[in-house]
Amino acid sequence: MTQVETHTSPEVGGMGHSVKRKEDPRFIRGKGEYIEDVVLPGMLWLDIVRSPYAHARIKSIDASAALAIPGVLAVITGKDLEKAGLHWMPTLAGDKQMVLPVDEVMYQSQEVAAVVATSRYLAADGVAAVEVDYEPLPVVVDPFKALEPGAPVLRPDRGPDKATNHIWHWESGDKKAADAALARAEVTVAEDIYIPRIHVASIETCGAIADWDPVREHLTLHMTSQAPHAIRTVLALVSGLPEHKIRVKTHDIGGGFGGKVPVYPGYVLAVVASLTTGKPVKWIEDRSENLQADSFARDYHIHAELGATKDGKITGLRVKTVADHGYTDAAADPSKFPAGLFNVITGSYDFPDAFVEVDGVYTNKPPGGVAYRCSFRVTEAVHAIERMVDILAHELGQDPAELRLKNFIRPEQFPYKTPTGWEYDSGNYPAALRKAMEIIGYEELRREQAEKRARGELMGIGISSFTEIVGAGPSHTFDILGIKMFDSCEIRVHPTGKVLARIGVQTQGQGHETTFAQIIAEELGFPVSDIAIEYGDTDTAPYGLGTYASRSTPVAGAATAVAARKVRDKARKIAAHLLEASEDDLEWTNGKFFVKGSPDRAKTIQEIAFAAYTNHPQGMEAGLEAVDYYDPPNLTFPFGSYICVVDIDKGTGQVKVRRFVAVDDCGNIINPMIVDGQIHGGLTMGLAPALYESITYDELGNNLAGTFMDYLLPTAVETPHWETDKTVTPSPHHPIGAKGVGESATVGAPPAIANAVVDALWHLGVRNIDIPITPWKVWQILHEKGVSASPPGSRT
């Protein structure tokens, strides 16, 4: 295992130390404070009536039986909200979404009415008693059928000039050049690849407590949000409440993964209910509501074509994609990127010409999509290019590793400009792949595979050499609803040398209380144990855009380092005053300033902190604090190479992941243990869609994965042993050379697994299997190819 460099003692615990997580004592003792733990005096409960139909007209809503239940205080309908103009709200993608419908419901389990009661149980009883009369309407489930002439137009509210289910068209790259490259390519391969709809399925569902104080005219919104500041601003703009009279507070969050970025109707309904009753109102989703109604991820129908020379040098890529967005585009993408950063689809490979186009489409499904631990649409991009590269290698009869090594962007080509316009900051792709091949014993595995194939056994080896794109983002290009995607940190050093730092990003389990303290420890020499990190309270934390798309370390981490350096600059002035020396004559090392050539004439950072309040130079402001709002000059580009070995059971179609080696490069590492944890979690979340998870709908638009019985999350039983290692290629533009790691493994793992399965079956004529690769799919293929070991006469 590669060791990580450190510059501080283990006691200080700066970058590179595997400091134990400061948040874990409360988590492992069950002492975390999640939204459900928060109980306010006089609090009411809210529950939601949901539509059984995927598309229907609401003929009437009769709340009389519900209101007759003692303890049921109010039933809120779309018509009630319409009076206040609150029945629609904006989505983060600039579309609009119903808070509650007035005329039509657009997906199964959509919110139809809200019941407010004195207990959770009475609220549920009230929901069961609300009678809604529906007239079913034709349902549009398939995005391709949604685009056909004559398909029911799902969003007539967009006006007569937009009488179509087509939302937007987005493209990137040079079409003419890509067309020409493919036309003259000696070899072309083409494939349809579907990345199914999946759900983040956080163990903590979404919830909120809205607490309107009618006397102070002040709203506190306790909620599960990955982006509390953005929520506050949107709430102020939509509701008309002054922004300084709104406080958003997040508490501990039990998993976000992108699913807690959007604004869900339940949050708004809790606010309306609190404004109406003048009491705190709590809303917590149950599991099925979470799986059926919250924003989904993925759902991209991709057609990709790759051109190459006969000896396997890639020359061009053309991609056409249909993106199913449900009934509204509620993707949490930056404004200028309706398909996220999908055009990173040229991947880790050096070729001149590419063209990518995506069309967004409305269907009768829940809105989305969220970037489920994948930056913005990077999972879809990486899956497509890594599958295509494997298909090309097999088609040419070349080894997939050799073909990758032949086409990688070489280390000396960085910074590398891609044909779709990104500038990759740094990378060493051959080193990562070679390291993974060495760890797993690639050559030996290929020999074993050949022997097994000769015996009729099915074994496959799959590679994924992905490039991530994270850290949104530079303000010239990146905003959400107009708010630039900077992030922030404010550091206050107390007189006794203890530190309080507040950050603009949220934590949903990443360990920010530890890693952000380590950045400050690295820069200022205070021990991690002396540094408290706060976040998630908009009254105290500096403004920031929140935690998603692996942006915490690249953006807020940079802000933290820069703020710490500002503190150090002031500390230098104080030290010069205390040491009666010129600032230029001071040197900084190990948490102290000393006079050059006289290491004994030194002041520790703690001594300087005390002096900042007790003996600061005349004319200088007292105190020792700084704030930084960091606007990154570029994104960061973590990368890695994963190799997966699978064995396929010819009787059952079961795919067993025998080995999985992940070599990641996330630039400089803050905490190796936490990075490993992120990768282990990410690999498991990559295994999930590769083999298990998928949200499907029947022809009536019923969600067929509305419980954890039908939506299979891998547990320890399904999860193989992960073997991890790393290379370290710092980001040249990031203050601490870090790139971020939160999503690399989720992005990189699925194609490694899919490639391994197809590798095992290619000789039988199998070119592609869409994920999730379930035993049923494989079993059918084995039967079709006549190699199944299941008993004759088995049902196909």
Partner 1 sequence: MKFSGTVDINAPRDKVWAFVLDPTQVGSCGPGVESIEVIDATHFKARAKVGVGFITAKFVVDLEMAELTPPTEAVIKAHGQAPGSAVDATATMRLGDRPGGGTTMDWTADVNIAGTLASVGARLIEGTANKMIGQTFDCIKAKLEA
Give me the active site residues, please.
Answer: 226, 373-374, 743
Structure tokens at 292: 């059926």
Structure tokens at 48: 């939601």
647/455 Cα distance (integer angstroms):
14
753/768 Cα distance (integer angstroms):
12
Q: Which stretch binds partner 1 (CB under 8 A): 27-35, 51-59, 425-433, 783-791?
A: 51-59
Short-list 309, 289, 243, 330, CA closest to 109: 289
Considering the complex, what minimum distance in angstroms separates the CB of residue 703 from partner 1? 5
The count of other CB atoms within 10 Å of the CB of residue 453 is 14
Instruction: Name all contacts of 8-13 with Cβ < 8 Å and 24+ positions apart.
Output: 8/521, 8/522, 8/525, 8/590, 8/591, 9/590, 11/527, 12/521, 12/525, 12/526, 12/527, 12/528, 12/591, 13/517, 13/518, 13/521, 13/527, 13/528, 13/529
b/e sequence 559-597, b meaning 16+ C-beta within 10 Å: bbbbbbebbbebbbbbbbbbbebeeeebebeebbbbbee
Q: Which stretch binds partner 1 (CB under 8 A): 46-54, 192-200, 491-499, 750-758?
A: 46-54
SS3 58: strand
Residue 83 neighbours by CB under 8 Å, 6+ apart: none
Please tell me whether residue 52 binds partner 1 under the rule CB under 8 A.
yes
Mark 651-690 with x for binding to partner 1 (rule: CB under 8 A) and - for no binding. ----------------------------------------
Q: Kindly give the pairing relationship between strand 723-726 and strand 416-417.
A: unpaired
Size of the site for partner 1 (CB under 8 A): 27
* Residue choice 54, 371, 760, 778 for contact with partner 1 (CB under 8 A): 54
Considering the complex, what minimum distance in angstroms separates the CB of residue 87 from partner 1? 22
Please tell me whether residue 328 binds partner 1 under the rule CB under 8 A.
no
* Residue choice 68, 704, 764, 789 for contact with partner 1 (CB under 8 A): 704
Q: Which stretch binds partner 1 (CB under 8 A): 45-53, 75-83, 199-207, 767-775?
A: 45-53
Considering the complex, what minimum distance in angstroms separates the CB of residue 53 from partner 1? 5
Task: Choose between 49 and 562: whose C-beta lies nearer to partner 1.
Answer: 49
* Residue choice 707, 763, 764, 776 for contact with partner 1 (CB under 8 A): 707
The most distant pair of C-alpha atoms in the chain lies apart, rounded to whole Å, by: 93
Strand partners, 667: 738
**Alpha-carbon dihedral angle through residues 207, 479, 519, 585, given to the nearest 10 degrees:** -150
Name which of residues 80 to 109 contact partner 1 (CB under 8 A): 108-109
Task: Choose between 52 and 623: whose C-beta lies nearer to partner 1.
Answer: 52
Task: Choose between 292 and 518: whose C-beta lies nearer to partner 1.
Answer: 292
Task: Choose between 135 and 311: whose C-beta lies nearer to partner 1.
Answer: 135
Task: Choose between 296 and 637: whose C-beta lies nearer to partner 1.
Answer: 296
Considering the complex, what minimum distance in angstroms separates the CB of residue 477 from partner 1? 40
Task: Choose between 52 and 415: whose C-beta lies nearer to partner 1.
Answer: 52
755/710 Cα distance (integer angstroms):
25
Task: Choose between 106 and 485: whose C-beta lies nearer to partner 1.
Answer: 106
Considering the complex, what minimum distance in angstroms separates the CB of residue 136 from partner 1? 6
Alpha helices in 281-425 (DSSP H): 287-293, 378-396, 400-407
CA–CA distances in Å: residue 616 to residues 493, 611, 612, 698:
14, 6, 5, 71
Please tell me whether residue 706 binds partner 1 under the rule CB under 8 A.
yes
* Residue choice 17, 22, 50, 739 for contact with partner 1 (CB under 8 A): 50
Question: Are 506 and 547 contacting, i.e. CB atoms less than 8 angstroms apart?
Answer: yes
Considering the complex, what minimum distance in angstroms separates the CB of residue 109 from partner 1? 8
Name which of residues 122 to 141 contact partner 1 (CB under 8 A): 127-134, 136
Considering the complex, what minimum distance in angstroms separates the CB of residue 285 from partner 1? 14
Please tell me whether residue 700 binds partner 1 under the rule CB under 8 A.
yes
Quick one: 159 exposed, middle or buried, by C-beta within 10 A (0-12, 13-18, 19+)? exposed
Task: Choose between 131 and 451: whose C-beta lies nearer to partner 1.
Answer: 131
610/250 Cα distance (integer angstroms):
33
Considering the complex, what minimum distance in angstroms separates the CB of residue 36 from partner 1? 22
Task: List the 56-62 sheet strands across, edge first.
Answer: 104-105, 56-62, 131-136
Name which of residues 600 to 639 contact partner 1 (CB under 8 A): none
Rounded to the nearest angstrom, the gap between the alpha carbon of residue 246 and the centroid of all alpha carbons in its chain is 27
Task: Choose between 33 and 62: whose C-beta lies nearer to partner 1.
Answer: 62
Question: Are 449 and 464 contacting, i.e. CB atoms less than 8 angstroms apart?
Answer: no
Residue 144 neighbours by CB under 8 Å, 6+ apart: 301, 322
Please tell me whether residue 51 binds partner 1 under the rule CB under 8 A.
yes
Task: Choose between 113 and 753: whose C-beta lies nearer to partner 1.
Answer: 113
The count of other CB atoms within 10 Å of the CB of residue 236 is 16
Q: Which stretch binds partner 1 (CB under 8 A): 44-52, 94-102, 338-346, 425-433?
A: 44-52
Please tell me whether residue 710 binds partner 1 under the rule CB under 8 A.
yes
Short-list 119, 128, 150, CA closest to 48: 128
Amino acid at 538: T
Mark 281-310 with x for binding to partner 1 (rule: CB under 8 A) and - for no binding. -------x---x------------------
Please tell me whether residue 198 binds partner 1 under the rule CB under 8 A.
no
Q: Which stretch binds partner 1 (CB under 8 A): 231-239, 382-390, 475-483, 703-711?
A: 703-711
Considering the complex, what minimum distance in angstroms separates the CB of residue 376 from partner 1? 29
Q: Which stretch binds partner 1 (CB under 8 A): 232-240, 307-315, 576-584, 701-709?
A: 701-709
345/355 Cα distance (integer angstroms):
10
211/37 Cα distance (integer angstroms):
15
SS3 733: coil
Task: Choose between 126 and 672: whose C-beta lies nearer to partner 1.
Answer: 126
Q: Which stretch binds partner 1 (CB under 8 A): 49-57, 230-238, 424-432, 648-656?
A: 49-57
Question: Are 430 and 441 contacting, i.e. CB atoms less than 8 angstroms apart?
Answer: no
Question: Are 74 and 273 contacting, i.e. CB atoms less than 8 angstroms apart?
Answer: yes
Task: Choose between 50 and 435: whose C-beta lies nearer to partner 1.
Answer: 50
Q: Is the peptide bond before 473 cis (omega within 30 degrees of 0)?
A: yes
Question: Are 561 and 521 contacting, i.e. CB atoms less than 8 angstroms apart?
Answer: no
Mark 351-380 with x for binding to partner 1 (rule: CB under 8 A) and - for no binding. ------------------------------
Considering the complex, what minimum distance in angstroms separates the CB of residue 707 from partner 1? 6
Considering the complex, what minimum distance in angstroms separates the CB of residue 108 from partner 1? 6
Task: Choose between 237 and 704: whose C-beta lies nearer to partner 1.
Answer: 704
Question: Are 440 and 446 contacting, i.e. CB atoms less than 8 angstroms apart?
Answer: no
Considering the complex, what minimum distance in angstroms separates the CB of residue 80 from partner 1? 20
403/407 Cα distance (integer angstroms):
6
Quick one: 454 exposed, middle or buried, by C-beta within 10 A (0-12, 13-18, 19+)? exposed
Q: Which stretch binds partner 1 (CB under 8 A): 52-60, 70-78, 411-419, 763-771?
A: 52-60
Please tell me whether residue 698 binds partner 1 under the rule CB under 8 A.
yes
Cα angle for residues 53, 55, 60 (degrees, 5° grid): 75
Considering the complex, what minimum distance in angstroms separates the CB of residue 715 from partner 1? 20
Please tell me whether residue 702 binds partner 1 under the rule CB under 8 A.
yes
Residue in this structure with the two tokens 């070119």, named with its chain if needed: 767
Q: Which stretch binds partner 1 (CB under 8 A): 115-123, 549-557, 697-705, 713-721?
A: 697-705
Please tell me whether residue 114 binds partner 1 under the rule CB under 8 A.
no
Alpha helices in 42-77 (DSSP H): 64-67
Q: Which residues form the interface with partner 1 (CB under 8 A)?
A: 50-54, 108-109, 127-134, 136, 288, 292, 698, 700-704, 706-707, 710
